[in-house]
Amino acid sequence: MSSLPNPDLSWAVPVMRMGYAGRGLVYLTVAGFSLYAIWRGGRAEGTSSALADLENTTGGGIVLALIFIGMLAYAAWRVLDAIFDLDDHGGDAKGIAARVAIALTGLFHLSIAGIAFSLLFAGGGSGDGSDGSSLRSALSALMQWPGGRWVAAAAGLAVLGAAGYFFVKGWKQTYRRHLVANHFTTHWNGALRAGLFAHGAVVAIVGGLILYAAWAADPNAAGGTREALSWLTGQPYGRILVAAVCVGLVGFALFCFVNAVWRIVPKVAGDTLETLAARLQAKARAAM
C-alpha cells in the first residue's frame, strides 16, 4: 500500500465528519442504554442490543438511519485514508501497518451499519441476541481448519494490540496532532483521554476472550462488547467497574463528536490550521 499521488480529496473531509458523528452516536447509544440498565439493576448492553432498544424509542428510527449513514461514511473514510495516506502515516513498514489497520477498522464498522440496516429495513429482532454471535460463528468455522486455533490466537493478539493502541494514544495524547486548537479541545482533554482508556479497556477484554477461546478450543467463550461488559460485571466490584467504563464510553462518544467537528486531515488541510499539539507546545516554550 504505497503512497499514491493525491487527487483533490477535499470532499473526503465531510465524509470523515459524518463518519465520526455516526460513530459517536453508536457509543453514546451503547453507554446510555447500559447506564440506564445498570441503574435499574440490569446488565450493560452490547452494540446490537442497544441499537435494538434505540429502535423502540421515540425518534429512534431517525437516529438509527443517521448511524447507518455514519457507519458507511466512516468505512469509506478509513479506506480512503489508508489508500491515499491522508493522515500522513508514511510509506515505511510502520506506516503501512498503520494504514492496513485503519482500513480493517473501517471495514469492521460496516458490521455496525449492517445491524442498523437490519433493524431499519429487515425487522432485525428484539436485540436479545449477543453481539459476539457472529464472532463465535467465525471462530467456530476457523477452528475447524488445520492450525485454526493458532490463527484465532493471533486474532486475539491483534485485538489486544488494538487495545494497546488506544491506551498509548490516550496516554501520549497523540490525537492532539489532528485536532484544531480551541477552547473546547484544550479544556475537555480529560474527558477525551478517559474515553480512549475506556474504549481500550473494552477492546482489551474482547481480545482476551478471543485468546481464551483459542486456548480452550471453545469459540463460545469469545464475545463482543456485551460479553466483555458481562465478564467485567462478574469481577469484584464488577457493577461499579462496568458503570465507570460506560461513563468512560460517553467520553469516547465525545471524542468521536470532537473529531467530527474539529479533526484536521493533514494532506487536505495542509498547514493552514493550528493543531492543538502545536499550540500547547508553543505555550510550553513560552512558559520556559
Digit-coded pLDDT (tens) for 255-266: 999 999 999 887
CA atoms within 13 A on the CB side of 277: 10
Of 23-27, 135-139, 142-146, least confident by mean pLDDT is: 135-139
Cα–Cα dist 103/96, whole Å: 11
| Dihedral sign for Cα atoms in the order 90, 106, 63, 65 | positive
Structural domain spans, the chain? 12-287
- Using the Cα atoms of residue 258, residue 56, residue 200 and residue 248 in order, give the sign of their dihedral: positive
DSSP string computed for 165-187: HHHHHHHHTGGGGGBB-SHHHHH
All 3 cell numbers of residue 286?
Answer: 513560552
pLDDT, the chain, mean = 87
Task: Report the alpha-carbon distance of residue 285 to residue 288 in Å, rounded.
Answer: 5
Tens of pLDDT, residues 160-194 = 999 999 999 999 999 998 898 888 888 899 999 99
In a 13 Å sphere around the CA of 147, the CA atoms on its Cβ side amount to 3
Q: Which residue has the cell 464498522?
A: 109
Report pLDDT for 7.
66
**DSSP state for residue 275 in the 8-state scheme:** B
φ, ψ (nearest 5 deg) of residue 99: -70, -35
Total Cβ atoms within 10 A of residue 101:
17
- Residue 287 is predicted with a pLDDT of 65
pLDDT for the residue 274: 62
Q: What is the spatial distance between Cα 208 and Cα 194, in angstroms, rounded to a whole number?
A: 21
pLDDT > 90? residue 72: yes
pTM value surpassing 0.85: yes
Instruction: Flag whether pLDDT at 125 surpasses 60.
Output: no
pLDDT higher than threshold 50 for residue 128: no
- Centroid of chain to Cα 7: 28
Model pLDDT, residue 105: 86
Under DSSP, the state recorded for 241 is H
